[in-house]
Structure 1
């Protein structure tokens, strides 16, 4: 449990986040604690992008859209791989961590510029980086399912029901986070300015615009690392990944039990 709390604090939580004992109750499902990724000093430590199921769309459309966006963030913008989570309800989330906190208004503008360029169909609250959210892992108060970080290769299996029946093991949750990196200060500023320049140069569009395919050379100082992009993984891939981190997977905790019926 201590390792999981440490990873959440390393990646997402501001300095004045709830103390470790309160966070422990939250991740154990004993107390629901909405947490803002922006501290009381107005500095944002992380950002979350929601991908919710849309009525009338294919059941896995929101998952496929997440994959497209996650790949773009890494391949075209050169950003570190984001964490992926299920909400316990009907959504997937991408989590972007900042190595150096930035003013909330600037983080909000960054998020909106990303949206305008790459996923214009997704609605973002005007205070998305300030609003308290349910940081996984945690119990969804309405559905009774668990929100959790997941291996990206397992995402498609949650398209119809984005939640777990059982609490995910803390060590496994920590394993999904420990290899992730935060967006560096210079990296953030480079992408922030480049997205702003693209936004000023593109013509005004009527209705919903298609994602802007900015040239990779505008953003990338070097080619993306191999194996960086999200992809469908086999069960063997996932087991091998966890074994490499000295974790023995218990899949009854990773997938609802009725998926084996």
Structure 2
């Protein structure tokens, strides 16, 4: 558990936002504590963009939208790969970490430009930057399911039921986080510049050189990074073999646990009768 706590502190948690004892109880499922990713001086250590299942839409729409945003962040804006989580309830989270705390106004401008340049139909909660969040892994008190960081290639399988039946192994959570990078100030400034130029180009009526983002973009090659779908697991659905290979490469032996639904033995015996 110590390694998991170290990764959460490295990437997402503002200093002093939650005590070590509270965090440990939170991760064990003994309690669920919401924390702010913003410090009192309105600087953000991280941001979580929620993608909740949309009423009356295809059950995969919110997952496809997350993939599209993640691909733009990584390929077009050349930012580090974000983490992906399931909420334990009805959606996903896309997690961006900052190397040094970033002014909230600057991050707000980034999200606004991102939406205008690429995703004009994407709705963001008005308090997306300062609303308290439940850091995965943790137990969702409303559903009884676990929020957790996931292998991005597994995302589509959680579209209908975005949570785990059991607590995820801490070593597996560490494996999904330990190679992630935080966004440096210079890279963030470059991304803002790219977005502003895209907005200016659209406003001037000149066709942008950036191809339009397709919602269902899994399987396509990342032009900016030069990676193939096999290398960039945000761009494809992973097979079971992919997941096992990913964990074995980090010296983790995966354990796949499932809850088997109970069957009414009396009802079953009636069905067996001729």
TM range (shorter): 0.7 to 0.9
Whether 1:228 aligns to 2:227 is no
SS of the residue aligned with 1:114?
helix
CA RMSD of aligned residues (A): 2.3
Question: Paired residue for 1:100?
Answer: 100
Question: Paired residue for 1:207?
Answer: none
Deviation at 1:258, TM superposition (A): 4.6
2:198/2:208 contact within 8 Å kept = no
Q: How does 1:33-182 map to 2 (within 5 A)?
A: 33-182=33-182
Deviation at 1:201, TM superposition (A): 4.3
User: Whole-Å Cα distance in 2 between the matches of residues 14 and 214 of structure 1?
Assistant: 38
Structure 1: which 5+ residue stretches go unaligned? 205-211, 217-221
Deviation at 1:195, TM superposition (A): 1.5
Question: Paired residue for 1:219?
Answer: none
TM-score normalised by L of structure 2: 0.83
TM-score normalised by L of structure 1: 0.87
2:77/2:194 contact within 8 Å kept = no
Whether 1:245 aligns to 2:250 is yes
User: Whole-Å Cα distance in 2 between the matches of residues 135 and 189 of structure 1?
Assistant: 27
Deviations 1:65-121 (A, max 9, x none): 211221121111111111000011110111011111111121122122222222332
Indicate how the Cα distance of structure 1 residues 14 and 32 shifts in structure 2: closer, same or farther if over 3 A, else same. Answer: same
User: Whole-Å Cα distance in 1 between the matches of residues 118 and 47 of structure 2?
Assistant: 16
Indicate how the Cα distance of structure 1 residues 225 and 75 shifts in structure 2: closer, same or farther if over 3 A, else same. Answer: same
Which of 204, 210, 214 is the matching residue for 1:215?
210
SS of the residue aligned with 1:202?
helix
User: Whole-Å Cα distance in 2 between the matches of residues 24 and 192 of structure 1?
Assistant: 36
Deviations 1:202-247 (A, max 9, x none): 339xxxxxxx96638xxxxx94152235111111111011011011
User: Whole-Å Cα distance in 2 between the matches of residues 31 and 163 of structure 1?
Assistant: 17
Q: Runs in 1 of length 4+ with deviation above 4 angstroms?
A: none
User: Whole-Å Cα distance in 2 between the matches of residues 229 and 68 of structure 1?
Assistant: 13
Question: Paired residue for 1:257?
Answer: 259
Structure 2: which 5+ residue stretches go unaligned? 212-222, 264-274
Deviation at 1:194, TM superposition (A): 2.5
Matched pairs, number: 246
User: Whole-Å Cα distance in 1 between the matches of residues 73 and 254 of structure 2?
Assistant: 29
Indicate how the Cα distance of structure 1 residues 195 and 214 shifts in structure 2: closer, same or farther if over 3 A, else same. Answer: farther
Indicate how the Cα distance of structure 1 residues 214 and 168 shifts in structure 2: closer, same or farther if over 3 A, else same. Answer: farther
Deviation at 1:149, TM superposition (A): 0.4
